[in-house]
Chain A
Amino acid sequence: MPGLCVVTAMRTISRAGVFCTLLLAAVAAFPTLGEDVASVGADGVRMNAQVRVVVDQAYSVHQLSSPSGTIVREFVSPGGTVFGLSWQGPFTPDLRQLLGTHFDEYVQASQSDQGHIAHMVHVESGDLVVESAGHMRFSVGRAYLRSKMPSGVTADALR
């Protein structure tokens, strides 16, 4: 896990916990929702991204800024599982990559027929919660797996 090596080397103590910054000029990749952070290399989304890793007591945050300007944050449990992610920027990221095996579940849940046609922001399907909002040229959203949230962490932290 290259991120953690750098975290160890560069860590500085601050009031809010241990913050570490990792800047990569080269190709970076990141894992998908529900998967282990160690599976980074196999997943294949490659962005010429700037990566920042913030480690707190309950979880760590991997922040990537894509070339088209959208910032993606991935929330990783102490056990190494990506339990949540959020994004904000001009364009919606590749949701199939971010949601992984949960993408199809999201699509199906987002099109559920309630008798009225009303496109909601907040979509739930069992363990999965996805929120995608914004307007053309601005996208903001988050996704998480309720069962994977570390103890004491609420969804309101995923911003």
Chain B
Amino acid sequence: MRSVSLREVEVVASLVLAALLSTCGGSNGSSSPSSSSPSGNNVQTVVVNGGPTGNYTNGVFTNVTLCVPGSSSCQTVNNVLVDTGSFGLRILASALTLSLPQQNDASGNPVVECAQFVLSTMWGPVRTADVKLGGEVAGSIPIEIVGDPGFSTVPAGCSNHGPPQQTQAALGTNGILGIGLFINDCGGACSVAGAGNPGFYYACAGSGCQIIAQPTSNQVKNPVAAFSGDNNGTLLQLPTVSASTSSVSGSLIFGIGTQSNNTLGSAKVFTVNGAGNLTATFHSNSYPSFLDSGSNAYFFLSSSASGIPACSTQASGFYCPSSPVNVSATNRGANGTNNAVNFTIDNAATLFANSGENVLPSLGGPNAGSFDWGLPFFFGRNVFTAIETRNTPVGTGPYWAY
């Protein structure tokens, strides 16, 4: 078991290093973010606020610079949502003035994507760009341009998976920066023809759009995985938020254990199953569990299972306890790492009532089938997302660490 031995050596080395750093820096060894702002070519500033529409709840946003591949013809798009629950960069056509080259299929027809999110779809052409974040560059990668007027007709086969959300008013962002565990947005399922193809990629000729087999190399992909360095994952670092507020800032740091500002320290590593999930246990029942900075709240359990009253129509889809409720659930990785997560849920109708506050650390809602650790989970934690197949000081991705 040579690889295991090597990994153990690496773990020990990492722990020793962490202990040394802890001693030198006077750190208390926790994995919560430090108070000073990190700096370096691998650091991208992020902000949690109401976003471009001013009323987005618990969204973490950043700027993304796009360039025509190999050129200095560039544009910076602001208010792009940082999402550890998806893979690939999607920009609203309405936020883009730069003309980027279209990706075509083998027959020369433009490739258009139906990106399937759990609550909605995004339809638009696949174009190629150099993507710049901090001092890092993902050279000539496929991205999706959402809501392009040149491809305004969404096929029924796409919208049947969920309503298309194509505008800033509907989405509350200018785009989505998907930096989750995987490299490609669909993966192998979309690279084959036939009934098993879930229908992310279409080729559009004059007669209409047809689902195609799209090789993974041509799929919209996680920009971090395409950097020349610091490309094994990310660290999202947000401060503790003890009460509702209007704005907080933090850092998205590229790479895991590649520079002094992205060491794992005392963070625990949780490997995932094939679907990219951990397991969360609450009162002896287990659920698929995941860390999703693109989710607006803690979404977990049914109202009957959690014992927390659901809101009436005023804040339907969220929890409305009469007073704050403390909840504890245990995350478990495929590697057996356990961690009890303690959090507080407050009354969503009350939280929503103050329109100036969009950072709501105690917002939660029902979700009977899984534990969705949304953005409030990230407050006060260093959350590492290790990308599939990439080596890190403690082993190969995919994994979460916090």
Please determine whether A140 and B195 come into contact, CB atoms closer than 8 angstroms. Answer: no
Q: Indicate whether A127 reaches chain B with its CB closer than 8 angstroms.
A: no
Given A95-B160, A120-B365, A136-B178, A67:B196 Cβ within 8 A: yes
Which interface residue of B117, B118, B170, B186 has the most chain A CB atoms within 10 A? Answer: B118
Please determine whether B55 and A115 come into contact, CB atoms closer than 8 angstroms. Answer: yes
Report the Cα distance A86→B194, complex, angstroms.
24
Please determine whether A95 and B317 come into contact, CB atoms closer than 8 angstroms. Answer: no
Question: Restricting to A28-56, which residues have a CB under 8 Å from any CB of B?
Answer: 47-48
Report the Cα distance A142→B159, complex, angstroms.
18
CB distance from B235 to the nearest CB of A (A): 19
Please determine whether B172 and A122 come into contact, CB atoms closer than 8 angstroms. Answer: no
Please determine whether A133 and B189 come into contact, CB atoms closer than 8 angstroms. Answer: no
Please determine whether A135 and B365 come into contact, CB atoms closer than 8 angstroms. Answer: no
Closest B residue by C-beta to A112: B316
Closest B residue by C-beta to A138: B275
Please determine whether B57 and A91 come into contact, CB atoms closer than 8 angstroms. Answer: no
Q: Indicate whether B136 reaches chain A with its CB closer than 8 angstroms.
A: no
Please determine whether B369 and A68 come into contact, CB atoms closer than 8 angstroms. Answer: no
Closest B residue by C-beta to A117: B172
Cβ contact of B53, chosen from A110, A117, A123, cutoff 8 A: A117
Q: Indicate whether B363 reaches chain A with its CB closer than 8 angstroms.
A: yes
Contacts of A158 in B (CB 8 A): 368
What residues make up the interface of B, taking CB atoms closer than 8 Å to A? 51, 53, 55-59, 85-87, 115-120, 156, 159-163, 170-172, 178, 180, 182, 185-187, 189, 194-198, 275-277, 288, 290, 292, 295-297, 299, 302, 304-305, 310, 314-318, 352, 355, 358, 363, 365-370, 372
What residues make up the interface of A, taking CB atoms closer than 8 Å to B? 47-48, 67-69, 86, 88, 90-97, 103, 107, 110-112, 114-124, 131-142, 154-156, 158-159
